[in-house]
Structure formats: structure tokens, C-alpha cells
Amino acid sequence: MLAQPSPQPPLGSVIQGSLSQGLEVRLHPDVSVEDMRVGKFLVVRGARSQFFCMLTDVTLGTGSQRILAHPPEPSNLFLQEVLAGTGTYGTLSLTPMLMFTQPESGGDNGAMGGWDGKREAKGKGKEKRQNSRYGSLEVQSNADVELLPVKTIPAHFSQVYDASDRDFRIIFGWEDDPHRRNFAIGQPIDMDVPVCLDLDRFVERSNGIFGKSGTGKSFLTRLLLAGTIQRGAAVNLIFDMHSEYGWEAVSEGKQFSTVKGLRQLFPGQVQMFTLDAEATQRRGVRDAQELFISFDQIDVEDLALVRGELNLSEASLENAIILRNEFGKSWINRLLTMTNEEIQEFCETKMGSKSSIMALQRKLTRLADIKYMRATSANNYINQILAALDNGQHVVVEFGSQSNMLAYMLATNVIARRIHASYVKKADRFLQTKNVIDRPRQLMITIEEAHRFLDPATARQTIFGTIAREMRKYFVTLLVVDQRPSGIDNEVMSQIGTRITALLNDEKDIDAIFTGVSGGQSLRSVLAKLDSKQQALVLGHAVPMPVVVRTRAYDATFYAQVGATPWEDLPDEVLFKASEAARADLGF
């Protein structure tokens, strides 16, 4: 149960505003404008409703043009104090995000039980509302509170207050909420109270983590992945392009230090696969399973995704389809062994283009230089990944030195395409049987450099574009990590449910963040004023309203809070048994 809020003085009064443009608030004389920061969470108390607002701008005003023409001398502090609050004052621009309207009937019929616990006479009720924010409100969960979209505005001279801990808990919940799977992502910029994501809502749609280079996207991603693992909200497949999530990674800062990876924190729940075993072993990773992809697992659609890296023409891709139709899955192996005479004969009988096929043959030889590629493979490693996911194991695919865009994009597309096909079949079976046993585990796929897969030219062709648009109904969603959201197709961006955005400077990237977001224009100034480190704007499906947070530190304190047992703290016999059991389950 939440404690009663202590009385607090108002900050200012609403002097004008509109539903579309927001509210203008004049600060009271005793309130310093320097204490008001963009992104701050404020509450406006109307006659019947509470309005939960974000501060989007701060301005200075004067009561007379004569003051501007003849400002007081810097040394005349007395005159400055006389003018403060009357001749000179501060104003705030607020954007209402949510509201709660007091129910007409008393008792416990309202979502919050009414501010006063029961309905009073009009005059007496008004007096009580002036002295109490929520009265005898008792809230066991923020699921008990019915918060509404803003469809009106408070009256003139309604008072504005700092949001209390109680307000934040009512809006964003708390981690030990028995009715919701909440996870604290950080704290408000000026308070010590958690801001929580509803992880069940988070994983049911695709999400994005955005920010320019150096703003801590990887730490935010690691934080959220640890939360989903600890809370059991979804099973994760992580394409670890820069080897940052599975095992330890270098921490940012002047002093060299490292942070733990997911495999180290959750050794019994996270499995690692590597496309570069030598590089993974050099980093001290234990029990990482090697992963190879064979030519017969590559389809023309995979080559279409990396056509830029391979410099493939449209004609080459059209002839690749002819080869695939003729030779089936072994078409690449067959092409790479064909002589000029065989290519000539094939073109004469199958209406292909000799020059295009020869160019395709020459360019596909680059695939043989990729470490994880094999002509054929007796072992289907992708099926092992699927088996791990089916068993509730979280999978990190580490690329090591194979992090160039060709190797990264090819492997992720091939693996994700197989998973797509598998989950479509599982979802169809579940819809047919309605048996809870057949329900697929919710899967979240994490990809970096997402604009490479989801740009307007290729988003409709790649499997990731399909997943972003359609796979929610098949229990698969994406977590995209990118520093260039403007490079992602607008249709895909509109499907991103929750957006966690660190500092961005490019206007196009800022515009992209607010694609499909109602009232996004008022939040642009908030995003532009973020600190370059450990601050983010969170908005979308997993939070009731946009909020700026100081992101939670990913350190020893966090390790203890998520209840993880670090790898080095486990006895060797426990590690051996866990490793052997996991490998046996996966058929290694």
C-alpha cells in the first residue's frame, strides 16, 4: 500500500493553454526558474481531474516592456528581488499526457476510490480537494488505476505541483507489483523513484533502442535483456555483432573496466553460439558452441539482402532464381563448380544470361572466405538454436572477427528466416488446437545496425521487415538497436511499440523517432536536451506516458538486484553439471 503524500507547495498556476498546444504555467514568485528542467514530470490539479504532464519548455516573461528597456543594474539586488515574481517571472510549457477524473459517486467505485474516500457537499468537497492530492487512496498495483487519455484541460489558475513518489508509482508501477511483470529501467532526472516498463507489454510488440554513437545503447540493451531473462518475459535470440552481450565487455569511461555478459550472470539460462570459435576462445568464453552455415541453407532472398555488399545486379539475382529452380538447394555449390562450357550450355537450354551467371559465380566466391561458411554440413546448427529456444534457453550468437556487414547480415538473415518458418508453423498449430501446451514461447530477436535490414529499399524483402510488420501474431518480435533511425522504413518504424531513445542530433533521426507518435512535436525539445550519457526518453506501448529517465547503472549493484549468480561465484561442479545438461538437451 502506498503511503499518503505529504503536503507540498504549488509551483505555479495555469494561465492559458489548449488541448492541441499544451498548457502555459506561470511560476509562483518563490519558485526558481533554474529548478525547472525540460523532461520534468509535473501534476496539474484541476477542479475534478488530475493531469499528469511533461515539462517541454521554460521561458522568461516580463510584465512591462520598460523593464526590458531599463533592466536593473547587476549590483542592485534589492530591485531585482522586488521585480521577481511580479515584473519578471518564469513560465513553463506543459504537455498533458494522462488524466484521472474523479468519479461522480463516492466510496470505492472509482479507479482510485476518489480523492476524499467519499463524496462531500460541493463547498466542503472543494476545500478538501485543495488540501489533498488523492485523499485516502490505497493502491496495491498500478493495474488498479484507470488512467485516461487527455481529452480536456484544467481551468484557469489550476495549481501545478512537483510529481511525488506516489505519482510515479501510480503511473509507472513498481518492480514488486504482484499483478504486473514490471522492470525498473531507471529513475526520473530529479527524483529517486523507479520508472518501470511493463515487460509483458514490452515483448508483445517490436521495440527500438536508439541514440547516436557513444550514448550507451549497448548498456541499455544489456540492461533490458537481463530484465527479460530475470523476469521470464520472453526467450531471447541475440545477434551479438560486436561481442558485447554474451560475455564480458569493456565499460565506457576513463578508467578501463569490464561489465559482465548475460552468460556470466545467468549461466544456467543463456547459451552461446559462435561464428568465430578462435576469437571467442581468446576472450575466455567457456562452452560456446561453434556454428556453421552451409551453402545449401542460403536462398536467393538472403543474397538480395546483401546485394550491396556483393555488388550484385538485378540481372544476377534473376539468374540466381533460374539456377535455384533448376538445381534446388544445392544451386550455389553447383554454380561454383560449373565451367564456362557448362554455363554456356545451361544458358542455351534454360534461357539464362551467360554474362550475369559468370558475374554471379565470381562474386559468390567471396562467401567461401567467410569463416563460418561450409560447402555442406552434416550437422544442422540452426536446428540446435531452435531446440535451445524451445527449451527456454536464451541464445547469444557471437560473431567475433566476422562482424563485417556481409558476414553479419548473411548469417542473421539465414537464421531468422528459419526461425520465422518454424514459429509460423507453431502458431498455426496453436491456433488450430487451442491447447496451451502448443503455445509457442514469446521470442524477442535483438539485432544491431537495424537500418541495414529495414531500410525502405529492402524492408519488404527481408525477413526482419516481415517480422516487424507481421510476426507479433506469431509470438516473435524484434528489439532493434540503431544510431540511424531515419534509415529505417517508415512503415516499420510505425510498428515499433516502445522507443527508448538516447541523445540524437540529426533532425532526420529525431523526426523518425516520432513517426506515428501523437503529440511528438512537443517532445522534440525534450529529446534534444538529453545529456549525452545515461539519459533516455522512453515512450510507447510499455509505459503509460513518455518519460525522461536516468538509466539504471549496469554494475555490481544491478547484478545483485536481478538476483543473478555470477559465473565466477558458482562452484566448478555446478558449472560442469549445468553445461553438460544443457548440451545434452540440445543434442551436442
Per residue in 258-288, pLDDT (tens digit) is 888 999 899 889 999 999 888 888 888 878 8
pLDDT mean over 229-253: 87
Instruction: Specify if 183 maps to a domain.
Output: no
Burial of 30 (0-12, 13-18, 19+ CB in 10 A): exposed
153 and 218 belong to one structural domain = no
* Percent of the chain residues topping a pLDDT of 90: 33
CATH number for the domain spanning 485: value is 3.40.50.300
CA 399 to chain centre: 22
Joined grid coordinates for residue 472: 507479433
574 and 480 belong to one structural domain = yes
Distance, first Cα to last Cα, the chain:
50
313 and 450 belong to one structural domain = no
Q: What is the pLDDT of residue 572?
A: 47
The model's confidence at residue 564, banded by pLDDT at 50, 70 and 90, is: low
Q: What is the pLDDT of residue 126?
A: 37
283 and 349 belong to one structural domain = no
Q: What is the pLDDT of residue 216?
A: 86
Instruction: Specify if 540 maps to a domain.
Output: yes
Instruction: Specify if 232 maps to a domain.
Output: yes
The model's confidence at residue 182, banded by pLDDT at 50, 70 and 90, is: very high
Global pTM value: 0.82
Give the mean pLDDT of the chain.
82
Joined grid coordinates for residue 418: 528459419
Are 579 and 286 a contacting pair, CB within 8 Å? yes
74 and 42 belong to one structural domain = yes
3-state SS class at 434: coil
Which has the closest alpha carbon to 262: 572, 567, 561? 567
481 and 514 belong to one structural domain = yes
Looking only at the bridges linking them, the beta strands covering 498-501 and 207-210 are: parallel
Burial of 430 (0-12, 13-18, 19+ CB in 10 A): middle
Cell 481531474 appears where? 49
Instruction: Specify if 553 maps to a domain.
Output: yes
Continuous H helices in 209-299: 217-231, 262-265, 277-282
Query: DSSP secondary structure string, 333-358?
Result: HHHHH--HHHHHHHHHHHT--HHHHH
Instruction: Specify if 33 maps to a domain.
Output: yes
400 and 472 belong to one structural domain = yes
Of 325, 349, 368, the position where a domain reaches its end is 368
Containing structural domain, residue 283: 197-245+260-292+379-585
Cell 534473376 appears where? 318
For 508-547, write each residue's pLDDT tens digit. 999 889 887 776 777 888 888 888 888 999 998 999 988 9
Q: What is the pLDDT of residue 161?
A: 95
Are 36 and 58 a contacting pair, CB within 8 Å? yes
Q: Is the pLDDT of residue 146 over 80?
A: no
419 and 345 belong to one structural domain = no
Are 31 and 11 a contacting pair, CB within 8 Å? yes
Are 211 and 503 a contacting pair, CB within 8 Å? yes
Q: Is the pLDDT of residue 369 over 60?
A: yes
Q: What is the pLDDT of residue 223?
A: 93
Of 139, 172, 205, the position where a domain reaches its end is 172
Of 336, 368, 400, the position where a domain reaches its end is 368
Q: What is the dihedral of CA 225, 226, 231, 232, to 10 degrees?
A: 60
Phi, psi (deg, nearest 5) at residue 77: -65, -30
288 and 324 belong to one structural domain = no
Instruction: Specify if 286 maps to a domain.
Output: yes
Instruction: Specify if 559 maps to a domain.
Output: yes
Q: What is the pLDDT of residue 443?
A: 94
Are 105 and 136 a contacting pair, CB within 8 Å? no
The model's confidence at residue 200, banded by pLDDT at 50, 70 and 90, is: very high
Nearest-5° angle of CA 23, CA 29, CA 30? 110
How many domains is the chain partitioned into structurally? 3
426 and 363 belong to one structural domain = no
Q: What is the CA radius of gyration of the chain?
A: 29
Q: What is the pLDDT of residue 465?
A: 84
421 and 461 belong to one structural domain = yes
Which has the closest alpha carbon to 306: 320, 292, 296? 320
pLDDT mean over 427-449: 89
Instruction: Specify if 482 maps to a domain.
Output: yes
119 or 298: whose pLDDT is higher? 298
DSSP state of 84: B
Are 62 and 72 a contacting pair, CB within 8 Å? no
286 and 306 belong to one structural domain = no
Nearest-5° angle of CA 13, CA 19, CA 24? 30
pLDDT mean over 50-71: 85
- In this structure, how many other beta carbons lie within 10 angstroms of the beta carbon of residue 469? 16
